[in-house]
């Protein structure tokens, strides 16, 4: 089973959205894009990066797209920015405009796409000459403490869960594979940097609830368990994290950017 549920926008906000908002601000600070640029965002989700672009970069225009209808509807309802347009991903590929977009970005999406390389090639094609293509992904292997704690507990109880662990599933979420994918897509001047954010949970319930009701690989795994196995996993995680409040953990992402080359 490697079916990741991505249908519920409100549940995603609780599971990952609160951390992706902090990441978005740091990602944009690292990119340092000049004002009055035109932006295309691939995989806008619930709009964490979209909102940050609109609020922090003084954009000329922002086009945000997603393949999930619920996410498109959520952003259209909740994000009210004059220069923002939210659209479904067209069947023909990513949105385009004459001359291309000045900046083409994605946040926490690249590793979930069927072919990250194909996606980067399309992002490059949508980018204007002299523009920037950029992405950020969580470091699932050893940079996401709350997910590492979850999967270590799950695998201890169910060794078959090892194949579902994002750290094993997504080797692209490391600096070298990310850089290589950008270069293979014809992007030049590629650079990669870590971004660290705090992930603080008010209580164990605040930690556990998103795994029960959220979208993504770990919540999808929890949803597949029977009630007894789910309770066993919850108890193990509670014992692992202990009684301390709040639960203070950290997460690391890798940011990568490049420029359209001549390839």
pLDDT confidence bin for 261, thresholds 50/70/90: confident
Q: What domains, with CATH codes, occur in the chain?
A: 9-260 (3.40.50.150)
Residue 96 CA to residue 127 CA, distance in Å, equals: 8
Give the mean pLDDT of the chain. Answer: 93
145-159 pLDDT, tens digit per residue, is 999 999 999 999 999
Tell me the per-residue pLDDT of 7-46, one tens digit each, with 9 for 90 and over: 567 777 777 888 999 999 999 999 999 999 999 999 999 9
Query: 213-232: string of b/e by CB count within 10 Å (b at 16+)?
Result: ebbbbbbbbbeebeeeebee
End-to-end CA distance of the chain: 38
pLDDT above 70: percentage of residues in the chain: 96
The arithmetic mean of pLDDT across residues 213-229, rounded, is 91
The predicted model gives 176-202 an average pLDDT of: 97
pLDDT for the residue numbered 1: 38
Query: What pLDDT is recorded for position 15?
Result: 78
* Residues 82-139 pLDDT 10s: 999 999 998 889 999 999 999 999 999 999 999 999 999 999 999 999 999 999 999 9
């Amino acid at each position: 089973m490697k079916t990741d549920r991505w249908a519920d926008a409100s549940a995603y906000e609780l599971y990952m959205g609160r951390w992706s908002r902090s990441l978005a601000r740091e990602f944009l600070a690292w990119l340092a894009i000049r004002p009055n640029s035109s932006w295309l965002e691939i995989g806008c989700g619930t709009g964490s990066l979209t909102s940050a672009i609109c609020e922090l970069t003084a954009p000329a225009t922002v086009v945000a797209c997603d393949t999930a209808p619920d996410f498109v509807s959520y952003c259209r309802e909740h994000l009210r920015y004059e220069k923002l347009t939210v659209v479904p991903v067209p069947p023909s590929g990513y949105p385009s405009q004459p001359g291309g977009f000045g900046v083409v970005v994605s946040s926490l999406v690249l590793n979930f796409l069927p072919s990250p390389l194909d996606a980067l090639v399309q992002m490059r094609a949508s980018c204007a000459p002299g523009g920037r293509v950029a992405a950020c992904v969580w470091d699932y292997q050893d940079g996401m403490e709350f997910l590492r704690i979850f999967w270590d507990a799950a695998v201890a109880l169910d060794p078959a869960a090892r194949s579902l662990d994002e750290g094993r599933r997504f080797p692209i979420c490391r600096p070298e594979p990310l850089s290589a994918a950008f270069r293979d897509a014809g992007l030049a001047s590629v650079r990669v940097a870590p971004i660290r954010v705090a992930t603080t949970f008010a209580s164990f319930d605040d930690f556990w609830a998103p795994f029960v009701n959220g979208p993504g690989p770990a919540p999808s795994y929890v949803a597949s368990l029977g009630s007894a196995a789910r309770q066993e996993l919850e108890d193990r995680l509670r014992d692992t994290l202990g009684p301390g409040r709040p639960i203070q953990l950290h997460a690391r992402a890798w940011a990568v950017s490049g420029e359209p080359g001549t390839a």
